[in-house]
A and B are shown apart, each in its own frame.
Chain A
Amino acid sequence: MTLLTVKNLTKTYQDKTAVKNINFEFQYGKCIALIGPNGAGKTTILRTLAGLLKPNEGSVTFTNMKPNDDIRKYIGYLPQYPVFYSWMTGLEFLIYSGRLAFLPKMEAKTRAEELLKKVGIYDAKNQRIGKYSGGMKQRLGIAQAIIHKPKLLMLDEPVSSLDPIGRREVLTLMEELKHEMSILFSTHILSDADEISDELLLLHQGEIVEAGSMSELRQKYQTSTIKLQFKENLEGYQSKINALESISNSYMERDVLLVKATDIRLARQEILTTAAQQNWEMTSFTLDRASLEDMFMKVVKNECNG
């Protein structure tokens, strides 16, 4: 079921186009990552969907939305650098957010307490937000975004400003939230997108340059590289491998031997059988799956060249 349709979305600032002709459909229950380098237009897209910016052209429609309905009811949004009223306590801020979304008083309170537990800052609920750490603020930010049970949760760079522990916690939290609502988040950290998103939208200079599910994109950008590691004598093995029929070339990267094959299946077979026959002291054999990083570089390069 389609949750949201974005059509021909274009947004121009005074002199420069931030987002050009964006089209995508958002399926219910998916987790989509917007990835792209800084300045690619990720924040602009999120802000436009949240209604904070008005598009110059195009439309954003939620399925089943009545005309003149306020889309803000259906979305939760966490900006990249959330700012709170530092004089409020965490609990007060959540209740306030809930009340702004028309939750009745009692419900706002119970929901706030529930979310404080869920995001793991219940112990600090009566502390002023001014004393919260960055990670706590980020978690409070997520809590305020979902207090009114939105259909779509939008997070702008939810983990990029956090330390490794905070990052892990927020990612785990997002993993949990995936079961309750659709999530759209932006990031420039590709491994995060790889880890939790179902689909990717690759943005470059305001345009979507590639879109699809992780596995689709993997297949499309599959490289034919095999990574090999040996206990010792890498050079010796390299010449042996180069002698194989299916190998086009190989090169060394520190203690890893990267092998380019003409036919990946054949190469695997050849390497493994030869290794078994000659009793190679191989410590690892990896078929290199296209990492997001490589994919991203490829797409961006193609764009530049083509």
Chain B
Amino acid sequence: MTLFQKEMVENWRNKKWIWVPLVMIILAIMDPISNYYMPQIIEAVGGLPEGTVFELPDFAPAEVVMMSLAQFSTLGVLIIVLISMGTIAGERKSGISELILVKPVSYINYITAKWAALLILTLVSFFFGMLASWYYINILYGELSFENFLLIVLFYGLWLTFVVTLSIFYNAMIKTPGLVAFLTIFTIMVMRVITQVFHHLLNWSPNNLSNYIFEMLLTESIPSHLVGTASVTIMLSIILLIASIFIFKKKELAN
């Protein structure tokens, strides 16, 4: 608990609790707003010949949700990786962990405190981002029920949980923050490619979560692969977390 509190205070003092939610909100509403005002933007910027008729597609709320999620999948993941890359690796590199880990702290607490603090920051920021997106979708594009909003947050939140856990896993293993970030992103990219290549075999790959969320919004019901994929994601996260603790325990902490 002491460790967890320290993480929260640290993230507050270094302003992560301010900028991460803000960035997530911006990411979430950027596409919904810019697409809605596209005609005006084009007009204001000019450059089109007189009399050009330009048909812009009308987006359904579900499609706009997917735009926000697409932003989270790219820039959002990048931000999560950047804020998490040094959480353990950086402490070991700087040598501060030498002071902390000679105290009788349990390695389980050390890892889980880091994990939980990051996860809360990530999920709360994502929640606010998605809330902003939901608000604009409702006023600009049409109705998206609050229930659907919560389901999106729940299921996509699992994907972000997986990303955070993956980063913690590499943090426990390696003490170079840059390498942690690279490996996390690299792993996610490899997973995406594998999921695409073997899509008929890997129906429940965590990378499919956002596709199934789209399906859920279109069909207005929770598809069974969404539940399956969600379970797989949870399982993978738990395994990674346990593996992190295990690796960290085995490690020589001064090196």
Closest chain B CB from A62 CB (angstroms): 13
The answer on a CB contact under 8 Å between B98 and A79 is yes
* Cβ B102 vs Cβ A52 within 8 A: yes
Chain A interface residues toward B at CB < 8 A: 47, 50-54, 70, 72-73, 75-77, 79, 81-85, 87, 96-97, 99-102, 141, 144, 148
A73 touches B99 (CB 8 A): no
Within 8 A of A (CB), among B12-28: 13-14
How far apart sit A47 and B102, CA to CA, in the bound complex (Å)? 9
Q: Would you call A148 and B99 a contact (CB within 8 A)?
A: no
Q: Smallest CB-CB separation from B106: which chain A residue?
A: A70
User: Does the CB pair A100–B105 fall under 8 Å?
Assistant: yes
Whether A47 lies near B254 (C-beta < 8 A) is yes
Q: Does chain A have a CB within 8 A of B43?
A: no
**Contact assessment for B103 and A148 in the assembled complex, using a CB-CB cutoff below 8 Å:** yes
Asked if A52 and B99 sit within 8 Å, CB to CB, the answer is no
Decide: B102 and A72 in contact? CB cutoff 8 A.
yes
Bound Cα distance A84, B97 (Å): 9
Question: Chain B interface (Cβ within 8 Å of chain A)?
Answer: 2-3, 6, 10, 13-14, 94-96, 98-105, 252-255
Chain A CB within 10 Å, residue with most, of B13, B102, B104, B105: B102
Q: Do A101 and B254 touch (CB < 8 A)?
A: no
Instruction: Identify the closest chain A residue to B95 (Cβ).
Output: A83
Partner of A100 from B100, B254, B255 at Cβ < 8 Å: B100
How many Cβ-Cβ contacts under 8 Å join chain A to chain B? 60
User: Nearest chain B CB to A53's CB is how many angstroms away?
Assistant: 5
Please judge, given known A-B contacts A47-B254, A85-B10, whether A52 and B95 are in contact too, CB under 8 Å.
Answer: no
**Bound: A79/B14 CA distance, A:** 26
Picked from A51, A54, A96, A102, the residue with its CB within 8 Å of the CB of B102 is: A51
B3: contacting residue among A47, A100, A148, CB under 8 A = A100
B95 and A79: CB pair below 8 A? yes
Q: Are A83 and B94 in contact (CB under 8 A)?
A: yes
Q: Tell me if B95 and A73 are in contact (CB < 8 A).
A: no
Task: Report whether B13 and A87 are in contact in the complex, using a CB–CB cutoff of 8 Å.
Answer: yes
B102 partner residues in chain A, CB cutoff 8 A: 50-52, 72, 75-77
Tell me how far the C-beta of B31 lies from the nearest C-beta in chain A, rounded to whole angstroms: 35
Docked complex Cα distance between A58 and B242 (Å): 30
The CA-CA distance from A77 to B100 in the complex, in Å, is 10
Closest approach, in angstroms, between the C-beta of A96 and any C-beta of chain B? 6
A101 near B98 with CB under 8 A, answer no
5 tightest CB-CB pairs across the interface, nearest first? Answer: A52-B254, A100-B103, A99-B2, A72-B104, A83-B95
29 contacts between A and B (CB under 8 A): A52-B252, A52-B253, A53-B252, A53-B255, A54-B252, A70-B104, A72-B102, A72-B103, A72-B104, A77-B99, A79-B98, A81-B95, A83-B94, A83-B95, A83-B96, A83-B98, A83-B99, A85-B96, A87-B13, A96-B2, A97-B103, A99-B2, A100-B100, A100-B104, A100-B105, A101-B103, A101-B104, A141-B99, A148-B103
Min CB distance A219 to B, Å, is 37
Among B6, B103, B104, B253, the one with the most A-chain Cβ atoms within 10 Å of its Cβ is: B103
Residues of B within 8 A of A47 (CB): 254
- B254: chain A residues within 8 A (beta carbon): 47, 52-53
Once A52-B253, A53-B255, A87-B13 are accepted as A-B contacts, the answer to whether A82 and B2 lie under 8 Å apart by CB is no
Contacts of B104 in A (CB 8 A): 70, 72-73, 100-102
**In-complex Cβ contact of A84 among B3, B96, B105, B253 (8 A):** B96
